Amino acid sequence: MSAELFELLDEIEAEKGISKDVILDALESALISAYRKHFGAVDDVSVRISPDSGEIKIYARKQVVEEVEDHETQISLEEANKLSGSYEPGDFVEFEVTPSSFGRIAAQTARQVVFQRIREAEREKMVDEYSERENSIASGVVRRIERKNVMLEIDGTESVLTPNEQVKHDRYAVGERYKVFVIEVAKSVKGMHLVVSRSHPGLVRSLFELEVPEIAQGIIEVKALSREAGSRSKIAVHSTVSGVDPVGTCIGPKGMRVQAVIAELRGEKIDIIRYSEDPGQYVKNALSPADVVSIDVDAENRMCKVKVPESQLSLAIGKEGQNVRLAARLTGWKIDLSAVPDSELGDSFKKNKKKRSTRLDDEFTLSDKAAGIELGALDDEALISDGDHPLIDPNDIINIDDGEDFMNVDQNDLDKELIEAGLLMSDEELEQLNKENDNLGGE
């Protein structure tokens, strides 16, 4: 050992941010352990490292006694006085016990300790950095697939996407890039690893935050979100600025924003719902695309008894109960659905419904005003907005197959008309958007 040790420690402290005192404390502990391992167990030993020369010395501390009973912890009065000073029984004396061959052992130990402390410090630093990314989105590349576990590389760190956190419809391939939600930054024996998910509701929220800058700016708030990964999600949004339509803003021009989210989720359907402080109105919005005849709110039991047209009961319930189940999770209210025969519905209800259909038909030609259309919550669901004011009520999503033939056209002709009106992206535009998203993810 030499003074170069302290020069090295100074460089490590400057470059790695590891305190020299921390390394010296760890080195002293390691040297004591090495001494006891190679030269016998001494209960009370200490290490002294000269800051000038870097020389390492081992000292033993023993109690002075008249008659020695334990040679490891005691020294006779006669031997103590031979060392130096004047001792009496009960005093403690320190003396050097550094072996002549200890220099090689000390050098090896110092090297191991320094490297170990560097690795630990870098690991702790990485954990601290990634801890800030918990509950956020990250982009990873698939490196390999082992027993249904997908191994992702995220900024040089390996992460495991377990089957429980995958979406059943996703098909993973080596080299493909996926966005994931970072649930936790954890330490393991092999180092740090990220616990990530593709099925967590937070992924949908984070994707909207990426695509909709108004959310990051605080103009739009995501109030609640419910998700059945791979199938459908409902998200409730609210505007903090008067005059800004939260639903239209999240949909984006020509539906670009919501379609970018859908593309990343590999086709998962998304309902964007307008949030309301009124529980009845909130539940009504959440049950779209079904029309609601009446709602009876039971605040004490947090239950809403909802009546819908008999012809739309299956639409309100959804496939295997999905629509009403997601609506209940989104609002936090229990929902009790019942049907009203269509023959008992008043003329005003039918008139309002017909009016909404006619209004929707008229707005298809307003390509210079329309900002977006969402096609995705159901195959027969459409929602139009001009960006600032909805052209129809955001909750009045029209069901083409609900018995009223408000648009008797072929689906291909309808898609073509929507594209020409600027309300729907063409296949080429959507493919180009997906390529741009992949390029952004790679950066």
pLDDT digits 0-9 by tens, 37-69: 777 666 677 888 777 777 778 888 888 888 888
Residue 351: which pLDDT band, with cuts at 50, 70 and 90?
Answer: low
Does 75 have pLDDT greater than 70?
yes
Does 276 have pLDDT greater than 50?
yes
Q: Which of 318-322, 397-401, 435-439 comes out lowest in average pLDDT?
A: 397-401
Is-contact 384 332, C-beta < 8 A?
no
Read off the pLDDT of each residue in 263-274 and give the average, rounded to a whole number: 93
Q: Which amino acid is at 56?
A: I
Distance separating alpha carbons of residues 330 and 233, to the nearest angstrom: 9
Residue 353: which pLDDT band, with cuts at 50, 70 and 90?
Answer: low
Question: What pLDDT is attached to residue 211?
Answer: 94
Greater confidence, 361 or 198?
198
Distance separating alpha carbons of residues 75 and 61, to the nearest angstrom: 9
Is-contact 152 159, C-beta < 8 A?
yes
Does 283 have pLDDT greater than 80?
yes
C-alpha distances out from residue 163 to 125, 175, 378, Å = 29, 19, 27
Question: What pLDDT is attached to residue 226?
Answer: 95
Residue 176: which pLDDT band, with cuts at 50, 70 and 90?
Answer: very high
Q: Which amino acid is at 128?
A: D
Does 159 have pLDDT greater than 50?
yes
Can you list the domains of the chain with their CATH numbers? 4-127 (3.30.1480.10), 133-197 (2.40.50.140), 201-436 (no CATH)
Distance separating alpha carbons of residues 362 and 391, to the nearest angstrom: 10
- Residue 195 is inside which H or E element, if any? strand 191-197
- For the chain, give the longest Cα–Cα distance: 117
Distance separating alpha carbons of residues 187 and 124, to the nearest angstrom: 9
Does 328 have pLDDT greater than 90?
yes
Residue 432: which pLDDT band, with cuts at 50, 70 and 90?
Answer: low
Greater confidence, 271 or 114?
271
Question: What pLDDT is attached to residue 390?
Answer: 35
C-alpha distances out from residue 183 to 68, 133, 159, 195, 382, Å = 62, 9, 11, 6, 34
- Residue 294 is inside which H or E element, if any? strand 294-298
Q: Which of 6-20, 87-101, 120-134, 368-382 comes out lowest in average pLDDT?
A: 368-382
Question: What pLDDT is attached to residue 31?
Answer: 82
Does 406 have pLDDT greater than 60?
no
Distance separating alpha carbons of residues 275 and 258, to the nearest angstrom: 17
Q: Is the pTM of this model over 0.85?
A: no
Distance separating alpha carbons of residues 419 and 108, to the nearest angstrom: 73
Query: Using one digit for the tens of pLDDT, what is the confidence trace for 181-229?
Result: 998 877 766 667 788 999 999 999 999 999 999 999 999 999 999 999 9
Read off the pLDDT of each residue in 15-43 and give the average, rounded to a whole number: 77
- Residue 238 is inside which H or E element, if any? strand 232-239
